[in-house]
């Protein structure tokens, strides 16, 4: 076990026996459990268990006979297992190698450097002072509060001598992520409040629209009833019309009050329809406002999650097999792009580069490299047994299988445009780069760092 100071612990192990060999490669701790029993082997005890694959490989306390004896797991002495358990966190890198490996210091121009940045609100104010002024003048309380916070963050700190013209402090990626999260949480709180108010308004206007629609139905029923009464009265008067016409020489007219009732009901219906149209439009607009506010709240919540993710260590993987570079952080995929590797016919090997320390101002990163032992070199098949040429070919392994050094592997990589800048925005102590001929392992999942199987 190593940290930035070098090796801090060492222990014997017992790995997988013949037919159950422990896979080699780059792993991380994806599960920890103080007391665990095997799901595959009759509930066998696996105390101080630290899982490194979903298929059942783990580190745990067990018998160490001095030779490979497990079903694939890595057994640790009973005295060492709890010590290791206490020193690791979820995501801790685990390297399983057939031979002894250790990190060595390395420098290379392709290894990214961290990007120092202004606090989010300070950067915003520096980029758009007019917008900040508008926000300060806003009548909306939450916008004004955010703008005030931006102004406060942008104000340069006083020097011990009282100099107020000192340049604002630049933040490292982790500190920047913390400031970004604080800002995002404030924005989320304001967005949630706006969304809640918009929802209440939408519910209120929706209720009013439904009431207005019911009023139209009631007005239509009232008009129908008034018209039926008028029609009935007209029919009754019509039956008496011959007698009345004969005696007076003129037809009788419907009762004036019934006609007035119809006119009144028709006017009420028109008024109800006008109000219904207004209320329905208001309800529709209120719903649209709520939808936008709800989306804004969701966006704010995503920014909080992204800022929280940015507080974690960044991991980068270059796969010759896949021809791509991948970036993950907090076990989540962040970015990927095609990558060019020179001399593709030659093996890269598998190398793990780790940023073990960074200067406070981000000016220098101290990297270490671990190179996995190369796979067994395969000689070319001799054309004819016993010939001189075949013996020479067998004794001199192909250049394709010549082990590549950690520096040599980096020399052959051409980073795609924007990769170094993106990684620099996320990189700090604990960040890592893995370079390998192999692809991402099927053991990778939603809750893992990069897993690379070399056997």
CATH number at residue 61: 2.40.440.10
Give CA 440 to chain center in angstroms: 19
Q: Please enumerate in sequence order all residues whose Cβ is within 8 A of that of 347, keeping only pairs 6 or more positions apart, or say none.
A: 320, 374, 400, 401, 402, 403, 404, 437
Q: Starting at the earlier edge strand, list the strands of the sheet with 314-319.
A: 104-106, 365-371, 350-358, 432-436, 314-319, 324-329, 332-338
Residue 125 pLDDT grade (very low, low, confident, very high; cuts 50, 70, 90): low
pLDDT above 70: residue 448: yes
Q: For residues 44 and 112, what is the distance between their CA atoms, to the nearest angstrom?
A: 45
pLDDT above 60: residue 57: yes
Q: For residues 10 and 30, what is the distance between their CA atoms, to the nearest angstrom?
A: 22
Domain boundary among 68, 96, 124: 96
What pLDDT score was predicted for residue 37?
Answer: 79
pLDDT above 60: residue 153: no
Q: For residues 354 and 352, what is the distance between their CA atoms, to the nearest angstrom?
A: 7
User: Token pair of 232, please?
Assistant: 């009935």
What pLDDT score was predicted for residue 393?
Answer: 42
421 lies in some domain? yes
Alpha helices (H) along 53-159: 81-87, 120-127, 129-137, 141-154
Residue 131 pLDDT grade (very low, low, confident, very high; cuts 50, 70, 90): low
Which domain, by its residues, includes 360? 312-442
List, for residues 404-434, the tens digit of each pLDDT value. Answer: 999 999 999 999 999 999 999 999 999 999 9
Q: Contact 432/352 with Cβ under 8 angstroms?
A: yes
The residue assigned the tokens 């019509």 is 238
Q: For residues 59 and 46, what is the distance between their CA atoms, to the nearest angstrom?
A: 8
**Could you give the angle at which helices 129-137 and 141-154 cross, rounded to 10 degrees?**
140
User: Token pair of 196, please?
Assistant: 């809640």
List, for residues 340-370, the tens digit of each pLDDT value. Answer: 999 999 999 999 999 999 999 999 999 999 9
Residue 137 pLDDT grade (very low, low, confident, very high; cuts 50, 70, 90): very low
Report the pLDDT averaged over residues 110-121: 91
204 lies in some domain? no
Considering only CA atoms, which of 97, 94, 96 is closest in space to residue 85? Answer: 94
Residue 1 pLDDT grade (very low, low, confident, very high; cuts 50, 70, 90): very high
Residue 69 DSSP symbol: -
24 lies in some domain? yes
Residue 70 DSSP symbol: B
What pLDDT score was predicted for residue 243?
Answer: 60
List, for residues 195-243, the tens digit of each pLDDT value. Answer: 999 999 999 999 999 999 999 999 999 999 999 988 888 887 777 666 6
List, for residues 245-257, the tens digit of each pLDDT value. Answer: 555 555 566 678 8
Lowest mean pLDDT among 28-37, 62-71, 228-237: 228-237
Domain count, the chain: 2
Q: For residues 211 and 207, what is the distance between their CA atoms, to the nearest angstrom?
A: 6
pLDDT above 50: residue 146: no
Contacts 24+ apart (CB under 8 A), 80-83: 80/9, 80/11, 81/47, 81/48, 82/48, 83/9
User: Token pair of 235, please?
Assistant: 């029919």
Domain boundary among 64, 81, 96: 96
Report the pLDDT averaged over residues 161-189: 84
Report the pLDDT averaged over residues 178-189: 94
Domain boundary among 81, 96, 111: 96
The CATH number of whichever domain residue 422 belongs to comes to 2.40.440
256 lies in some domain? no
Q: For residues 176 and 158, what is the distance between their CA atoms, to the nearest angstrom?
A: 20
Q: What does pTM read for this prediction?
A: 0.74
What pLDDT score was predicted for residue 126?
Answer: 61
Q: Please enumerate in sequence order all residues whose Cβ is within 8 A of that of 394, keeping only pairs 6 or more positions apart, or say none.
A: 379, 380, 382
Residue 122 pLDDT grade (very low, low, confident, very high; cuts 50, 70, 90): low
Q: For residues 279 and 212, what is the distance between their CA atoms, to the nearest angstrom?
A: 7
pLDDT above 60: residue 64: yes
Q: Contact 29/51 with Cβ under 8 angstroms?
A: yes
Q: Considering the chain, what is the average pLDDT of its residues?
A: 84
264 lies in some domain? no
Angle at 102 between CA 98 and CA 106, to 5 degrees: 130
User: Coil, helix or strand for 315?
Assistant: strand
What pLDDT score was predicted for residue 395?
Answer: 43
14 in the Ramachandran plot: left (φ > 0), alpha (ψ -120 to 50) or beta?
A: beta
133 lies in some domain? no
List, for residues 289-348, the tens digit of each pLDDT value. Answer: 999 999 999 999 999 999 999 999 999 999 999 999 999 999 899 999 999 999 999 999
Residues paired with residue 26 on neighbouring β-strands, in sequence order: 95, 452
Residues in the chain: 455
171 lies in some domain? no
The residue assigned the tokens 């270490």 is 368
153 lies in some domain? no
User: Coil, helix or strand for 113?
Assistant: coil
The residue assigned the tokens 């996995």 is 372
């Amino acid at each position: 076990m190593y940290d930035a100071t070098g090796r801090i612990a060492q222990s014997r192990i017992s790995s997988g026996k013949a037919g159950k060999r422990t896979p080699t490669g780059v792993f991380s701790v994806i599960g920890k459990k103080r007391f665990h029993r095997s799901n595959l082997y009759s509930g066998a005890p696996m105390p101080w268990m630290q899982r490194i694959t979903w298929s059942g490989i783990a580190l745990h306390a067990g018998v160490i006979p001095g030779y490979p004896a497990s079903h694939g797991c890595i057994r640790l002495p009973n005295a060492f297992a709890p010590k290791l358990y206490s020193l690791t966190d979820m995501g801790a890198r685990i390297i399983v190698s057939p031979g002894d490996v250790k990190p060595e210091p390395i420098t290379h121009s392709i290894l990214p450097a961290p990007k120092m940045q202004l606090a989010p609100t300070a950067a915003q104010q520096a980029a758009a002072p007019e917008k900040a002024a508008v926000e300060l003048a806003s009548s909306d309380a939450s916008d004004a509060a955010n703008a005030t916070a931006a102004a406060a963050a942008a104000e340069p700190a006083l020097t011990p001598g009282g100099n107020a013209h000192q340049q604002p402090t630049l933040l490292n990626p982790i500190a920047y992520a913390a400031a970004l999260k604080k800002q995002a949480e404030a924005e989320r709180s304001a967005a949630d409040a706006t969304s809640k108010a918009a929802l209440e308004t939408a519910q209120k206007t929706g209720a009013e629209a439904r009431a207005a629609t019911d009023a139209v139905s009631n007005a239509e029923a009232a008009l129908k009833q008034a018209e039926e009464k008028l029609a009935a009265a007209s029919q009754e008067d019509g039956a008496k019309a011959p007698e009345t016409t004969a005696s007076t020489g003129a037809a009788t007219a419907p009762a004036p009050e019934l006609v007035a009732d119809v006119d009144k009901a028709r006017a009420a219906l028109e008024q109800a329809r006008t109000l219904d149209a207004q209320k329905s439009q208001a309800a529709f607009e209120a719903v649209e406002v709520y939808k936008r506010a709800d989306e804004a709240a969701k966006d704010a919540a995503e920014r909080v999650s992204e800022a929280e993710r940015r507080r974690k260590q960044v991991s980068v993987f270059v796969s010759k097999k896949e021809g791509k570079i991948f970036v993950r952080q907090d076990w989540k995929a962040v970015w990927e792009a095609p990558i060019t590797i020179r001399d593709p016919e030659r093996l890269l090997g598998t190398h793990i580069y780790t940023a073990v320390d960074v200067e406070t101002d981000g000016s220098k990163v101290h990297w270490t490299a671990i190179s996995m032992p190369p796979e067994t070199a395969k000689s070319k098949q001799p054309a004819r047994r016993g010939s001189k040429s075949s013996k020479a070919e067998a004794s001199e392994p192909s250049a394709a299988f010549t082990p590549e050094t950690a520096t040599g592997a980096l020399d052959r990589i051409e980073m795609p445009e924007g990769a170094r800048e993106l990684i620099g925005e996320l990189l700090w102590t604990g960040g890592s780069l893995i370079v390998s001929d192999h692809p991402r392992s099927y053991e990778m999942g939603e809750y893992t760092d990069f897993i690379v199987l070399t056997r």
